[in-house]
Structure 1
Amino acid sequence: MGELVDRVDERDVVLGVVDREEAVRSRWLHRIATVVCRDGEGRFLVHRRPAGMSRFPGQVNWMLGGAAGVGESYEEAAARELAEELGVIVRPRFVFKFLCDGVISPYWLAVHEAVITGPLRPDPEEIAWYAWVTESELADMAGREDFVADAREAFARYRALPARPAHPGAS
């Protein structure tokens, strides 16, 4: 059995434990935690996924993250994914979550923010390239064909938040 996740319902209530690949294949809801990284100037981190990735190979994303493990909170999963993918230890701040229909499978997507001021140590198996961009530059990138579609929806929802600071405070 591969990576285990909580299968959840339309209200994000746990129904049981399943293999993530089975959840994707069967289109069962599960939980995904992501982090939007900002620097001290408020710029966003964007990255390209390696060409050999099983999900969204070679595509650009503005979020880091992955599946929440069994019994793991969104915040715990976001912090773990940030450490694994970027080599950064910070406590991300929860911003919002929504039920994402998803290109590959439906899931609950939780979006967090973190201010990154120290050095990055990206995992080359997760991140092929990265850069810091302004919100305007990110908006342009989000319109491109090589931008992860699910990330495009999350970006639109993020920009529509009523009271969004210029950039989040450091945690």
Structure 2
Amino acid sequence: MGELVERVDLQDRVVGVVERGEAVRNRWLYRMSMVICRDAEGRYLVHRRPDTSSRFPGEYSWLVAGAVEVGESYVAAARRELKEEMGVDAPVRFLFKFLCEGALSPYWFAVHEAVVGHQQIQPSPDEVAWHGWLSGSELAQDVPHRSYVPDSRDAFARYMELTAGERLSPP
């Protein structure tokens, strides 16, 4: 059996439990959670996915993201993904949530932020081939010109729109 997720409706209310693959195939809504990692100077963590990744191989992202498990909150999922992908156990702060069309299928996407130290980052080689830090202006220049995961681009545009660029300076 594959990864189980909660199928949700347009108001983000649970309507059932399904395999994530089934949700994707049928374009049923489910939940995803992500973390924007920043350092004390306000730079953003960017990483490249491994070339062997089943989803978006070799593409870049400025998000640490994954599906919300059955019975799990968005915040708990964000913390779990941060630990699994980057080896960091840190508090996350909810920023906003939106209905994402998704490159693979639609889902509710909750956006969180965490401040982490460089020495804390211990990326999983299954999830991260390379990582580095970009200032806000560097990230704004990088996203349109490099191959970023499509949903990462969508979240970046919304982040910029909702924060009107104010988050591009140190936290």
> Gaps spanning 5+ residues in structure 2: where?
none
In structure 2, the CA distance between the partners of 1:51 and 1:162, relative to structure 1 (3 Å rule), is: closer
Which residue in the other structure is 1:74 paired with?
74
Equivalent runs, 1:5-154 vs 2, <5 Å:
5-117=5-117, 118-154=119-155
Aligned residues: 168
- Following superposition, the deviation at residue 167 of structure 1 comes to 3.8
TM-score by length of 1: 0.94
Q: What do the CA deviations read for 1:4-34 (whole angstroms, capped 9, x no partner)?
A: 0000011100000000011011111000000
Q: Is the 8 A contact 2:96 2:110 kept in 1?
A: yes
Aligned identity (percent) is 57
SS, match of residue 47 in structure 1: strand
Q: TM-score, normalised by structure 2?
A: 0.94
Structure with the higher fraction of residues in helix conformation? 2
Aligned AA (2:55): R
**Are 2:60 and 2:146, in contact at CA under 8 Å, matched by a contact in 1?**
no
- Give the root-mean-square deviation of aligned CA atoms: 1.2
Q: Which string of whole-angstrom CA distances, capped at 9 and with x for unpartnered residues, describes residues 131-163 of structure 1?
A: 000111111221025111111111111111247
Partners of 1:55 and 1:27 in 2: CA distance: 16
